[in-house]
Structure 1
Amino acid sequence: MPLQFAQLPPALRWQELGTEFYQACPSTPMAQAHTVAWNAEFAQALGLAELTQQHQIADYLIGNQTPQGQTPLATVYSGHQFGINAGQLGDGRALLIAELTDPEATRWEIQLKGAGPTPYSRRGDGRAVLRSTIREYLCSEAMHGLGIPTTRALAIGSAQHTVWRETRERAAVLTRLAPTFVRFGHFEHFYYHGQPQALQKLADWVISHHYPECQSNTNPYLALLNAVIYRTAKLIAQWQAVGFCHGVMNSDNMSILGLTLDYGPFGFLDGFNPAHICNHSDDTGRYAYQQQPQIGLWNLHCLAQALMPLVSKDDLLAALANYQDLFESAFAEELRKKLGFSNWYESDWSLATELFELMQAAQTDWTIFWRTLSHWITEQNDTRLSDLILHREGLQNWLQQYRKRLTIDAQEPKQRSSLMLNSNPKYILRNHLAEIAIRKAENEHDFSEIERLRHCLSNPYREQNEYESYAQLPPDWASTLSVSCSS
């Protein structure tokens, strides 16, 4: 008997737009389905707790069956990849299979990533491999735990099916959710294909369902752009604060809702290096850590250009001119919390910059340093910090300035430390931690490490003694790991 999803409406909102925006596309079945990971906590929040023990669920997770007989669809979009207009792209391996409304009245789109080829696969097989699916599952939930806007991951399904990348690998399917998966590239598609009516229809749809506050504006499309600029600036400031590197910030990987979207060759900083490149395929360093704020603006320019039929050029340029201030303000707010300040003053930038220079010179571990500083506030023991910064005299000079700055704020040390501990995570998804989980899954068919990591990363700011090893410096072999666009 097929599973019943009482929360699912009979139709997808995307279908309101018409078939020029998508194509119906059945998933491609795979034999011997099994569940690799099931996010029971997220399922509970979605109102899907009853599905946790359903033995049929694996067939839904890989697309062998679809809820209530609905036909999946793939959407069309375009975009700029590594700075070049790539023309028509689209959901080459992502299928929108259903929507649901959770108990908190949030509406979610449900996608299967890797469920087979679509009309937009561009000669690809439409599959995802187990290693990349595990990475996206873990990182999307890690980002949620960090409080950073992101798509969410419900489950991983796999089967007795292999695909060829650099070598033969096991296929897997990720079940991921978001209020919408609309990208900057959706707007670019209709702009570059000379379809202004479709472009306006898409903008109206996004405003109606996701930015209703823009409807009362004199120009709702300009209001939409301003809202996206604000969300994007804030998102990237949050990335920078935790040392997250996206790796492929193409315009088609940018969410219209300001969510972290498409986890491919991502990575978190270990030793602090502003020029760090997490994507082995990024030969020029276009998407290096220090480049992310400006690439965010570059992509917003792509979105603004796509909106030219709806908004005057002068208004678009004026809106984009606000980005730098918005980003700096958002990043200052993140640094304020990381440093334990009640307020942020312009002079604090020099204090932060000096600290960054000390950390860069020593390749100081980004996450461990900030967590150690959070404890230093109450301990006032310089030894642990001195072990992280090679330039001891420079560190002492900086701490002297820092102590003086702290006297400006009337906060008790415990109160300040609490603010910092809730802003400086102890646990992040380091590459070697994901790799250990991947190797166990691929080589031993042991999926337990995936759940252990997910559980730990769902509370990254809390001390968890059972996961203490996850908070240590990466082992030497971690430096040999590389990730690329191949998945």
Structure 2
Amino acid sequence: MKSLDQLVFNNTYSQLPSLFGTSVTPQPLTNPYLISINPNVAKQLELDVNSLNNSDFINIFSGNDTLAGFDPIAMKYTGHQFGQYNPDLGDGRGLLLGEVQTSQGKKWDLHLKGSGLTPYSRMGDGRAVIRSSIREYLASAAMAGLGIPTTYALAVIGSDTPVYREKQEFGATLIRVAESHLRFGHFEYLFYTQQHEQLTLLADYVIQHHFPELQQAEKPYAAMFEQICSNTAEMIAHWQAVGFAHGVMNTDNMSILGLTFDYGPYGFLDDYNPSFICNHSDYSGRYAFNQQPSIGLWNLSALGYALAPIIDKADIEHALEIYQHQLQISYSKLMRNKLGLFDSHEQDTELFQQLFDLLKQNGMDYTLFFRTLSAIAQEELPTSAVRFSNLTTNTTAVDKWLQAYKKRIENIDDQQRLALMLKSNPKYILRNYLAQLAIDSAEQGDFTLVENLLTILHDPFDEHPEFEDLADLSPKWGKELEISCSS
């Protein structure tokens, strides 16, 4: 394992033409302090986590110092926000500091979110606050623990720098780590400014660094778009299966690698509500939970339109069909896993529809329903409706569905079924109220809950008896929390 000054950098993105971004120096925070470091992410970077908890680390990632190998750049991109094209986007409060090369040849972007003003800040101050930084820090850990493609966060650093949102808060930085920070909006920027040669250059860059196996394809750019469609389908299938709502699926928040990106007003389902809107600013419900698959297609269509100068229309349409097929296949498999079903039967569609109706009509907690079911042996099912009494008073309806479920699993090995379900249905998710409690404590200088949440979110399928209360149902106030884009 390495110390920070032993990292090896290979900054490929900053070697692209200047139109791809602007060199910017981070603006320092006042009296910075460490809130938390994620040891799993440190390990991915081959860093010794014990060597990071010091003033050098804090100063470097709060903009008060620099590190040899850094070449900070604010990336330029555009995108569609709530369906409308916006040409004035880019890294407005973050910088790509550099690209770390591991001993295994893996490349990781180091990105500093909350680093201050850039040419793309528009009317913003370029800052992040403790609240939003902790939300992203914990969310990326939660998604990683659930096995969902995501960006990561190495650490959160707080400060005494005042920042003004709806009220005065304090500035923070988040060290985001990702295989790439390239978004759909990078291609849209080059298309809408008619820089088609640079569009080709960016496509070549993506293939070289992220899809090298496609270099020998008959149509490399078409193959690249197919891969992006497939990756996006896998990501969104996981979102839907686990009950995650992103909240702001603008094209500038969509990763070309299919990584969950830019955590803002996200939310995990509490009571099952397919039309759940986690973003208080989403007045039309464009990004409601049940709209995410179709919005994924809309966003990919926007990307395909931007790639039209280098990909034939028929190939774009074919890739979009791949997205829809892949999403359906992946989601179906993930949902079968949640019920311990190893193969597909014709009647499964009806079984799942009855289940979704049961959950919706009775306002049952999505996560705890599946987790409770994961501990019930087949012979216990006829008398197990009472186990769901903390989720609903209508145990008669639960019993009716359990009878249908018992009939479906009659020929399945019960130990194998339960084992599959326990590793497919988390006990712990990052409920909004838990994130809020952690933020409230952190703003008072107590980071204990941040660390406790990090522990359970790393392994959400395990029991963690010392943190049993963190698996509880959300209180009423927690279900009613309003989260907006400014979060």
Q: RMSD of the alignment, in Å?
A: 1.5
Query: Retained in 2: the 8 A contact 1:377–1:416?
Result: no
Query: How much identity, in percent, do the aligned residues show?
Result: 46
Q: Which letter does structure 2 place at the counterpart of 1:265?
A: P
Deviation at 1:69, TM superposition (A): 6.0
Partner of 2:11: 12
Alpha-carbon distance in structure 2 between the residues aligned to 1:149 and 1:206:
18
Paired residues in the alignment total 481
Match of 2:397?
A: 394
CA distance in 1, matches of 2:159, 2:36: 13
Match of 1:449 in 2: 449
The residue number in structure 2 matching 1:355 is 355
- Other-structure match for 1:197: 197
Determine helix, strand or coil for the equivalent of 1:222: helix
Instruction: Give per-residue Cα distances to partners, 1:279-308, cap 9 Å, x unaligned.
Output: 000000000000001000000001100110
Q: Are the aligned partners of 2:385 and 2:396 in contact in 1 as well (CA < 8 Å)? A: no
Q: Following TM superposition, by how much is the alpha carbon of 1:46 offset from its aligned partner in structure 2, in angstroms?
A: 1.8
Runs of at least 5 residues in structure 2 that lack an aligned partner in the other structure: none
Which secondary structure state, in structure 1, belongs to the residue aligned with residue 157 of structure 2?
strand
Q: TM-score, normalising length from structure 1?
A: 0.96
Partner of 1:303: 303
Deviation at 1:40, TM superposition (A): 2.5
Normalising by the residue count of structure 2, what TM-score does the alignment of the two structures yield?
0.96
Match of 1:32 in 2: 31
Please list every run of at least 4 consecutive aligned residues from structure 1 whose deviation after the TM superposition is greater than 6 angstroms: none
The reply to whether residue 434 of structure 1 matches residue 435 of structure 2 is yes
Partner Cα separation in structure 2 for residue 429 and residue 47 of structure 1: 27
1:431 maps to a residue whose letter is N
* Unmatched tracts of structure 1, length 5 or more: none
Letter in 2 for 1:447: F
SS of 1:239's partner is helix
Indicate the residue corresponding to 1:471 in structure 2: 471
Residue equivalent to 1:274: 274
Secondary structure of the structure 1 residue equivalent to 2:361: helix
Contact 2:14 2:73 in 1 (8 A): no
C-alpha distance after superposition, 1:237-296 (max 9, x if no partner): 100111100000001100000000000000000000001100000000000000001000
1:88 is paired with a residue of what secondary structure? Answer: coil
SS in 1 for 2:200: helix
CA–CA separation in structure 2 for the residues paired with 1:28 and 1:435: 27
Which residue does 1:175 correspond to in 2?
175
Do 2:78 and 2:188's aligned partners in 1 also have CA atoms closer than 8 Å?
Answer: yes
Give the match for residue 99 of structure 1. Answer: 99
Match in the other structure for 2:184: 184
Q: Distance in 2 between matches of 1:214 and 1:303?
A: 19
What is the DSSP-based 3-state SS (H/G/I as helix, E as strand, rest coil) of the residue aligned with 2:292?
A: helix
Give SS of 1:5's match: helix
C-alpha deviation, 1:391, in angstroms? 4.1
Per the alignment, in what secondary structure is the counterpart of residue 68 of structure 1? coil
Q: Which moved more, 1:51-60 or 1:232-241?
A: 51-60
**Paired position in structure 2 for 1:166:** 166
Q: Which amino acid aligns with 1:384?
A: R
Structure 1 residues 317-466: aligned runs within 5 Å = 317-377=317-377, 379-380=380-381, 381-409=384-412, 411=413, 413-442=414-443, 444-466=444-466
Q: SS of the residue aligned with 2:241?
A: helix
Q: What is the SS of the residue equivalent to 2:216?
A: coil
Aligned with 2:351: secondary structure?
helix
Counterparts of 2:448 and 2:104, CA distance in 1? 30
User: Which residue identity is paired with 2:484?
Assistant: S
Provide the C-alpha distance between the structure 1 equivalents of 2:45 and 2:326, rounded to a whole number of angstroms: 33
Alignment partners' CA distance in 2, 1:265 and 1:305:
28
Note if contact 1:61-1:156 (Cα within 8 Å) is conserved in structure 2: no
CA deviations on 1:214-238 (whole Å, 9 max, x unpaired) are 1111111110111111111111010
The alpha-carbon distance between structure 1 residues 188 and 346, as it changes in their structure 2 partners (threshold 3 A), is farther
Q: Distance in 2 between matches of 1:414 and 1:112?
A: 46
Q: Following TM superposition, by how much is the alpha carbon of 1:104 offset from its aligned partner in structure 2, in angstroms? A: 4.3
